[in-house]
Amino acid sequence: MVNIDRALNTAGWMSQEELTYLAHAASKSMVIAEIGSYSGRSTLALAVNAPAGSIVYACDHWQGSADHQEMLSKMPPGWLFDDFTTNMQGITNVWPLAVNSLQAARWMATQGKRFDLIFIDASHDFESVKADILAWRPLLKDGGILCGHDYDDLPNPGVKQAVDLLITKFRVIGTIWTTEEEWTLTTER
């Protein structure tokens, strides 16, 4: 059984169903890359549910996307990263990398890193999502899960276009696209 309570109490756009899926995927993943972390809602679902000894690399420049600039312009410099850090208090398996997604992928490749789970939720325009998939997919272990958020026509048609172009076999849970073949939401009481 997964625990998403802390994630649900953190600001963000991911639904309960999507957080539950990420928690489930993390529960069988030792090395995880999250591309785009914002305030850490999805990061918490991943980190809290990953096995003991696991690591979640949270890769984000923490400057927000174009959609967030108006809101972030009213905040002090560094606010978003500070918010993320506050939300991660007490979580010891998250390593934040404050660089853009492509820089993070290049660095991971030079370090020989390979991942059981890669979750892409950074910029949502077609070219950015395409570049993220192409940069991160080679870092996936055999049998690993590649997935991402916001697979829908509106307001993020670029995500759907890039995934449809580059990923041959996937399923959709909420708006998460995933290469994991089998998963069913089960509720234990």
Could you tell me the domains of the chain? 5-178 (3.40.50.150)
Which strands form 55-59's sheet, in the order they lie side by side?
94-97, 55-59, 31-35, 115-120, 140-148, 176-178, 171-173
Quick one: how far is CA 128 from the chain centroid? Answer: 15
Mean pLDDT of 21-25: 97
Q: Residue 142: what pLDDT? A: 96
Check whether 189 has a pLDDT greater than 50: no
> What is the C-alpha radius of gyration for the chain, rounded to an integer number of angstroms?
15
Query: What is residue 45's predicted lDDT score, i.e. its pLDDT?
Result: 98
What pLDDT is stored for residue 185 in this prediction? 53
User: In the predicted model, what is the mean pLDDT of the chain?
Assistant: 92
Residue 160 · residue 151 · CB < 8 Å: yes
pLDDT tens digit string along 34-67? 999 999 999 999 999 999 999 999 999 998 777 7
- The CA–CA distances, whole Å, from 15 to 8, 73, 131 equal 8, 26, 26
The DSSP 8-state label assigned to residue 66 in this structure reads G
User: For the segment 153-187, what is each residue's pLDDT rounded down to a tens digit?
Assistant: 888 899 999 999 999 999 999 999 999 987 555 43
Task: Tell me what pLDDT residue 184 has.
Answer: 59
Q: What is the pLDDT of residue 71?
A: 75
120 bridge partner residues: 35, 148
Per-residue pLDDT of 75-108, as tens digits, reads 778 878 999 999 999 999 999 999 999 999 999 9
Whole-number pLDDT of residue 183? 58
Per-residue HEC secondary structure of 130-177 comes to: HHHHHHHHHHEEEEEEEEECCCCCCCCHHHHHHHHHHCCCCEEECCEE
pLDDT tens for each residue of 109-159: 999 999 999 999 999 999 999 999 999 999 999 999 999 999 998 888 999
Q: What is the pTM of this model?
A: 0.93
pLDDT over 60 at 16, yes or no: yes
Please give the Cα distance from 155 to 173 (Å, whole number): 17
Q: With contact defined as beta carbons under 8 Å apart, do 84 and 38 qualify?
A: yes
Looking at residue 74, its pLDDT comes to 82
Distance CA 33, CA 31 (A): 7
Contacts of 143 (CB under 8 A, 6+ apart): none
